[in-house]
Amino acid sequence: MDALRILYLEDNADDVFFVTRALKEHQLNPDIIHVTSEKEFVAAIDSRPPDMILSDHGLPGFSCDNALALAQSRCPEAAFVILSGAPNLANIAEQLQGQIYGVVSKNHLEDLVTLVRDFQAKNGASPQAMRRLVDAVQALSLARDLDTIMSIVRLVARELTGADGATFVLRDGDQCHYAEENAISPLWKGMRFPMSACISGWVMLNRQTACIEDIYADPRIPGDAYKPTFVKSLVMVPIRTEAPIGAIGNYWAKTHKATDAEIELLQALANTTAVAMENVQVYQELESRVETRTRQLAEANKDLKAFSYTVSHDLQAPLRAVKGFSKLLTKEMAGLLDKDAQFYLQRIISESDRMEGLIEDMLQLSQLSQAELDCRPANLGSLAADIITRLQSRDPEREVVFENYDDELVECDVGLITIMLENLLANAWKYSAKKDRARIAFSSKAGPDDTVEYALRDNGAGFDMQYADKLFAPFQRLHDNSEFEGTGIGLATVQRIISKHGGTIRAEGAPGQGATFYFRLPRQQSR
């Protein structure tokens, strides 16, 4: 784990040396901040609160009682320990009972070692160690391959426990693969051993931690494999308790019994590693699916282009021939054909015209998915007015009132939006044809999230709302062709163009009471 942070208030440099040495000799390796005055003491606490405070009992000019009072007010969670060379330790302990963590004689520093070790075991991971673990969890959550995971774990595992070495072991069938390591000298990186012949295999097979203070006294350890190494003690935890997929090991060059806190930290890291490894597998599977889907889409686009060519070339050519020869027959054989034959030819020509329109609509719809947007600011009301003028010129007998209430600007592909409006307005024009006084209204208003909401209303035939979900599907028509002609592709084209711009569309209507199409477009297209 990260070093225990100890603030040591002491004016005798020799005492500081012996305390530091005693702790390090027992592999405690604390981070000791030495101060000699009240000013330094307060500054150290305010800079970074310690886990433990060691205070000389007889410091001149700044009593132990004053130091304790300051500690209780500024860092009450820190354990306060008094170090004294006086013989009356029992009296000191009795006087300050409940206020301090302990009293230790400077002549018996082994008692301090025991006290510090017990403190670590009782209090678990230090805040620094927990922060390091949290950082590791965040880094592992972003890992997208096993190598990244191993490079993170090999460093963090050693840092969390202050070990001299760490290994990352993967289960490879009935073998243990020592895939990665970080140690003061080489261990077994790249090597494989039978599951039954190494401690990592035992950990995975038994799904439990192995904590070994003396490796040469434990029958689970193959001593010959460890003789060339520095290892004297170890702890090994499984990566995933159920069906382990690996193990993380920590090693020490001196005899060391891992504390409960150290084991818990290492196991927490192993648990996070298991999740990260599973996430990598899912991520790789998703990447594979995306690649497959991308390949399928490319093939579909290729097929679509071939289809478009077939429709535009191979289908239209014979259709033009049927239509052309039918017109020639009508013209050159008119005097020789009876009324029925002339009627049949007119039906062939009219149906050819309808099929020609259907093919053009199909081509337009299929090409929309491949079209790239070329956006610039535009007023849709102005575009709509031009389209109404063209519709009126083709059908001068109609009396249609067009009301335009749009003064908004949006950034759009003008060519595609014009096609969309032509379809919507042609629908409104067509389905209001049986009204004595047809009315079409186009309006806009500012919408949420920097969008513009449009409404196109007509007072025509309308539709039954129970069939509204069919409106924008290709080849779906809510009116019989004998009543209103059409291919059933126009509204599908409308929906696709609006969707391509990042917008939405819906419709409301009632039979005989007209229809309203509401659509929303972003005011600006994302780049």
Q: What topology does CATH give the domain 128-283?
A: Beta-Lactamase (3.30.450)
Q: Cα–Cα distance between 276 and 257 in angstroms, integer?
A: 29
Tell me the DSSP string of 104-151: EETT-HHHHHHHHHHHHHHH-S-HHHHHHHHHHHHHHHH--SHHHHHH
Tell me the DSSP string of 152-174: HHHHHHHHHHT-SEEEEEEEETT
* Regions in the chain scoring below 70 on pLDDT: 1-3, 27, 121-129, 300-315, 357-358, 361-371, 474-488, 526-527
pLDDT of residue 94: 75
C-alpha 322: how far from chain center: 58
pLDDT of residue 47: 86
C-alpha 480: how far from chain center: 49
pLDDT of residue 270: 92
Token pair for 172: 């490879």
Count how many Cα atoms sit within 13 Å of the Cα of residue 430 in the half-sphere of its side chain. 15
Residue 471, CA distances (Å) to 130, 452, 465 in order: 58, 22, 10
Domain segments of the chain as ranges? 5-123, 128-283, 295-368, 375-522
pLDDT of residue 487: 55
Report whether CATH 3.40.50.2300 matches the domain 5-123: yes
Q: Are 150 and 179 in contact (CB under 8 A)?
A: yes
Token pair for 355: 């099929």
Please name which of 103, 51, 42, 109 lies closest in space to residue 76, comparing C-alpha atoms.
51
Residue 247, CA distances (Å) to 171, 180, 182, 224, 234 in order: 8, 11, 14, 21, 13
Q: Are 512 and 462 in contact (CB under 8 A)?
A: yes
pLDDT of residue 1: 44
Look up the CATH number of domain 375-522. Answer: 3.30.565.10
Q: Cα–Cα distance between 11 and 18 in angstroms, integer?
A: 13
Count how many Cα atoms sit within 13 Å of the Cα of residue 89 in the half-sphere of its side chain. 16
- List, edge to edge, every strand of the sheet that includes 451-458: 400-405, 438-447, 451-458, 515-522, 504-509
Residue 215: which residues within 8 A CB-CB, separation 6 or more?
221, 223, 226, 231, 232, 233, 234
Q: E-assigned strands of 346-437?
A: 375-378, 400-405, 410-413
Q: Cα–Cα distance between 490 and 507 in angstroms, integer?
A: 14
Q: Cα–Cα distance between 442 and 191 in angstroms, integer?
A: 75
Q: Cα–Cα distance between 452 and 517 in angstroms, integer?
A: 14
Please name which of 454, 287, 492 lies closest in space to residue 369, comparing C-alpha atoms.
492
Angle of helix 127-142 versus helix 146-161 axis, rounded to 10: 180
Token look-up 């070329």 returns 374
pLDDT of residue 271: 92
